[in-house]
Amino acid sequence: MFKKTLEQVVTYEAGKPIELVMREFGIKPDEIIKLGSNENPYGSAPRVVEIIQKNAHKASMYPDDSMFELKNALASKWSVKSQNVIIGAGSDQILEFCMHALNHENACVLMAKTTFAMYEVYAKIANVEVCKTPSDEHKLEEFESLYRASLERGKRVSAIFLCVPNNPLGECLDSAAVESFIQKIGKDTLIIIDGAYQEFATYKDKAKAFSPSSLSAKYENVIYLGTFSKAYGLGGMRVGYGIADSKIIAMLYKVRAPFNITTLSLQAAITALQDQDFVVQCVEQNAKEMLAYESFARENGFSFIPSYANFITLSRAGLDSTHLCDWLLQKGLIIRNLASYGLNAFRITIGTKKQNERVFELLKAYGANHNHLSNHS
Amino acid sequence: MFKKTLEQVVTYEAGKPIELVMREFGIKPDEIIKLGSNENPYGSAPRVVEIIQKNAHKASMYPDDSMFELKNALASKWSVKSQNVIIGAGSDQILEFCMHALNHENACVLMAKTTFAMYEVYAKIANVEVCKTPSDEHKLEEFESLYRASLERGKRVSAIFLCVPNNPLGECLDSAAVESFIQKIGKDTLIIIDGAYQEFATYKDKAKAFSPSSLSAKYENVIYLGTFSKAYGLGGMRVGYGIADSKIIAMLYKVRAPFNITTLSLQAAITALQDQDFVVQCVEQNAKEMLAYESFARENGFSFIPSYANFITLSRAGLDSTHLCDWLLQKGLIIRNLASYGLNAFRITIGTKKQNERVFELLKAYGANHNHLSNHS
């Protein structure tokens, strides 16, 4: 009855929710720190919370499916037209639209070896071959070789995923380098520039900033993805967007179901866009706390990749990430084990100062209690 | 770059939102009556509104993607196990999961001539042939002939859509008849029983009540769909569900993206399930007001199909539904023109007493102003 090819699709394992830790370990919600899913530790902007409360009575009413106001606000923010914008239930859903809409006949898709896990899941659902670069981190020359090699063996490349900055590793390509890369790729390949964490990268280094308006004006095979889930503090509301040439947007609209975001999500996103001060504060605070993590890592023998996002990926020779993450979970600290990515490493969302101090304390306590593990190296 | 087959997919036109009427006709929101999308005219239960307000500060946090609590609550309500339940962003999304997951090789899907428009949209996105019964309303003998005819011409039937009650016409099959029908269909065909309006049908006539637990236990090729969008008053929150054999649910899970409903939607649905009194009140009130529509229709020469849902579809010889709907829109009344379904008819959501009285007043005024149109018949 179902597609045989689905058998190889592994259901994505989301970061563990607070509810699960409560249920499994009987820890009170107030004592649980969740730094496993890169949510905004400062919450949502107060005026977003207010607008949700004020509009709660509209829960029974479908949203304005034209998303007139939000699309206009995003178009204005990014200096594009409304027909260059599509809204998704998270930028995730735009990835899904792309994978459903693209012609994958005799094609493969390209991605970095270690990048956002959903790229591969959506590709497998669409039953398209996945080709990964040899390096964990994004290396454009490897993408280029992979692209040429695919064409040489008679395969089309239907899509290339670039995660800038890259989740879960944190590194970020320069936008100028990406633009040079785009020019080497044929027009039949959709280049997906996933900017879910762009606000953090841009703050740290202007060379990482992408211009969706310039990209969508110049290239008819590029889509830029943004989200409200991270710097904008709306992870639970599921709102993201894609910006591209209007012909791409029109095709993606064909695979979009109506009412794909909630009435309150629409209101929340419109309001969140109006409060740029909140976003700036969160991004600034994130940068400060990132420095604390880097110092901690250096002082305690952890390796890390300099991160352009709101998380940091750490590892230490001889330390088993699965053992560590399970131990931390029992103490009420949720971080992300990268074992499912094939790495003996762990990703921590940069939390508030108070949360981070607790993280450092626990990591030190773990080290003191599990010295024998460090001796394995 | 994109699938050629998408070119024939027509983007679904949702019911007009209040925002559009405000923008186009400059009518104040308080003066607009929206009876175009079968939302609950009594809103959401007060305690649902409260729980949303109370949880608004959690907008930044992803939902519990296991949906542990909601799935357990639904499993308990329907006397099934949690592994028989999948949650979607509206029951719409479960339809989408089915269309993405099914093997459509050399297959077609069957549906009534006039039924929920999204069945055809999702089928076209999945690039599967759509076969419709000759009659507008559901006739099981026509479905059976169509099924046999498909097999005879060497086509598999990957799915059969049954909308009970049927949107936008309002008629409803008896559950016993549907069960006899199921027994005539091969196990390779998924039978989708869309019960979006079941609460209204069951109240009117117990013969229309379906038992998801019995269906999922007896048949490994049947899925029952329910929604929080109608009787439960959560249209704007996008929550629906599917109940089926656990093997079906596991396959649908493979095409589900994580975090497919919002954090507040999860809370709202859990709370809505706890307030059955609200649902019963809405359904009772709907039945009372339905009688008012039937009387009005008889007294004013409108034809109608007895409806088992929270809407009624009306027509009158010589009356042009597009002209009527456009005229009503300018007066601030949004109803649903069925011209896009190829019918010269219109569907009105049963509103509150006050809203309905305004509808009757406007329909009478239209009749008085457009007598010449009635003479065309």
* CATH code for position B229: 3.40.640.10
We report the CATH number of the domain holding residue A351 as 3.90.1150.10
Q: What is the pLDDT of residues A129-164, one digit of tens each?
A: 999 999 999 999 999 999 999 999 999 999 999 999
The one-letter amino acid at A376: H
pLDDT level of residue A370 (50, 70, 90 thresholds): confident
A90 → closest Cβ in B14, B57, B259: B259
A55 and A140 co-located in one domain: yes
B142 and B235 co-located in one domain: yes
Classify residue B288 as exposed, middle or buried by CB count within 10 Å of its CB (0-12, 13-18, 19+): exposed
Using the predicted structure, report yes or no on whether residue A332 has a pLDDT greater than 70: yes
* Chain B residues near residue A268 by CB distance under 8 angstroms: 59
Using the predicted structure, report yes or no on whether residue B376 has a pLDDT greater than 80: no
What pLDDT is recorded for position B375? 42
Give the integer Cα–Cα distance in Å for A190 and A183.
12
* Chain A residues near residue B229 by CB distance under 8 angstroms: 62
DSSP letter (8 states) at residue B10: P
Q: What mean pLDDT is predicted for residues B11-21?
A: 77
Using the predicted structure, report yes or no on whether residue B371 has a pLDDT greater than 70: no
A196 and A139 co-located in one domain: yes
Query: Left (φ > 0), alpha (ψ -120 to 50) or beta: where does A135 sit?
Result: beta
**Which of B78, B114, B104, B316 is CA-nearest to residue B199?**
B78
Report the share of chain B in percent with pLDDT over 90.
90
Give me chain A's average pLDDT, please.
95
Nearest chain B CA: its distance from A301 CA (Å): 31
A105 and A204 co-located in one domain: yes
What pLDDT is recorded for position B102? 97
CB B255 to CB A62 under 8 A?
Answer: no
B139 and B258 co-located in one domain: yes
User: What count of Cα atoms within 13 Å lies in the side-chain half-sphere of residue A147?
Assistant: 23
B234 → closest Cβ in A1, A20, A59: A59
Chain-centroid distance, C-alpha B16: 16
Using the predicted structure, report yes or no on whether residue A373 has a pLDDT greater than 90: no
Contact pairs from chain A to chain B, CB under 8 Å: 237
* Chain A residues near residue B21 by CB distance under 8 angstroms: none
A267 and A321 co-located in one domain: no
pLDDT level of residue A371 (50, 70, 90 thresholds): low
What's the sign of the alpha-carbon dihedral A68, A72, A75, A77? negative
Greater pLDDT, A377 or A238: A238
Structure-block tokens of residue A82: 């409304």
Asked if residue B290 belongs to a domain, the reply is yes
CB B101 to CB A48 under 8 A?
Answer: no
Name which of A11-15, A147-151, A220-224, B294-298 the model is least confident about: A11-15
ipTM of the complex: 0.96
Chain-centroid distance, C-alpha B223: 15
Asked if residue A332 belongs to a domain, the reply is yes
Closest residue of chain A to B237, computed from CA coordinates = A262
Asked if residue A165 belongs to a domain, the reply is yes
* Chain A residues near residue B70 by CB distance under 8 angstroms: none
Nearest chain B CA: its distance from A53 CA (Å): 5
B294 and B233 co-located in one domain: no
CB B53 to CB A56 under 8 A?
Answer: yes
Q: How many residues does chain B have?
A: 377
A9 → closest Cβ in B189, B235, B254: B254
Asked if residue B212 belongs to a domain, the reply is yes
Residue B295, H or E segment: helix B276-299
CB A1 to CB B263 under 8 A?
Answer: no
Where does chain A show beta strands of DSSP type E? 33-34, 85-88, 107-111, 129-132, 156-163, 190-194, 222-227, 240-244, 303-304, 311-315, 333-334, 336-337, 346-349
Structure-block tokens of residue B70: 């909601």
Q: Which residue has the tokens 């899907």?
A: B109
B235 → closest Cβ in A61, A122, A234: A61
Per the structure, the count of domains in chain B is 2
Q: What mean pLDDT is predicted for residues B153-171?
A: 98
Classify residue A77 as exposed, middle or buried by CB count within 10 Å of its CB (0-12, 13-18, 19+): middle
A25 and A111 co-located in one domain: no
Annotate B37-58 with DSSP letters as a single string.
Answer: S---TT-S-HHHHHHHHHHGGG
Q: What is the pLDDT of residues B39-67, one digit of tens each?
A: 999 999 999 999 999 999 999 999 999 99
Chain-centroid distance, C-alpha B43: 17
* Chain A residues near residue B69 by CB distance under 8 angstroms: 19
CB-based contact B278:B263 (threshold 8 Å) = no
DSSP letter (8 states) at residue A166: P
Chain-centroid distance, C-alpha A84: 21
A236 → closest Cβ in B2, B59, B100: B59
Nearest chain A CA: its distance from B92 CA (Å): 8
B59 → closest Cβ in A44, A59, A60: A44
B283 and B257 co-located in one domain: no
Asked if residue B294 belongs to a domain, the reply is yes
The one-letter amino acid at B33: I
Asked if residue A359 belongs to a domain, the reply is yes
What pLDDT is recorded for position A19? 81
CB A17 to CB B64 under 8 A?
Answer: yes
CB B103 to CB A53 under 8 A?
Answer: no
Give the integer Cα–Cα distance in Å for B261 and B256.
11
What pLDDT is recorded for position A375? 41
Q: What is the pLDDT of residues A301-312, one digit of tens each?
A: 999 999 999 999
Nearest chain A CA: its distance from B296 CA (Å): 26
pTM of the model: 0.96
Residues of the domain holding A11: 4-44+277-370
pLDDT level of residue A324 (50, 70, 90 thresholds): very high
Q: Select from A257, A275, A293 the last residue of a domain.
A: A275
Residue B34, H or E segment: strand B33-34
Structure-block tokens of residue B248: 């079906």
**Which of B60, B48, B42, B72 is CA-nearest to residue B263?**
B60
* Chain A residues near residue B63 by CB distance under 8 angstroms: 17, 236
B293 and B252 co-located in one domain: no
Q: How far is CA A73 from CA A269, A271, B195, in A?
A: 10, 10, 37
Give the integer Cα–Cα distance in Å for B146 and B131.
8
What pLDDT is recorded for position A10? 83
Asked if residue B176 belongs to a domain, the reply is yes
B78 and B26 co-located in one domain: no
**Which of B361, B362, B354 is CA-nearest to residue B331?**
B362
Using the predicted structure, report yes or no on whether residue A376 has a pLDDT greater than 50: no
Q: Select from A221, A253, A275 the last residue of a domain.
A: A275
Give the integer Cα–Cα distance in Å for B257 and B260.
6
* Chain A residues near residue B53 by CB distance under 8 angstroms: 52-53, 56
Asked if residue A285 belongs to a domain, the reply is yes
CB-based contact B227:B240 (threshold 8 Å) = yes
Strand order in the sheet with A129-132: A85-88, A240-244, A222-227, A190-194, A156-163, A107-111, A129-132
Q: What is the pLDDT of residues A54-81, one digit of tens each?
A: 999 999 999 999 999 999 999 999 999 9
What's the sign of the alpha-carbon dihedral B94, B100, B101, B104? positive
- Collect all residues with Cβ–Cβ distance below 8 Å to B91 and sequence separation of at least 6: B194, B196, B225, B226, B227, B229, B240, B241, B242
Q: Which residue has the tokens 């959506």?
A: A122
Structure-block tokens of residue B264: 């507040």
Closest residue of chain B to A123, computed from CA coordinates = B255
Q: Select from B250, B275, B300 the last residue of a domain.
A: B275
B101 and B126 co-located in one domain: yes
Name which of B27-31, B93-97, B211-215, B340-344 the model is least confident about: B27-31
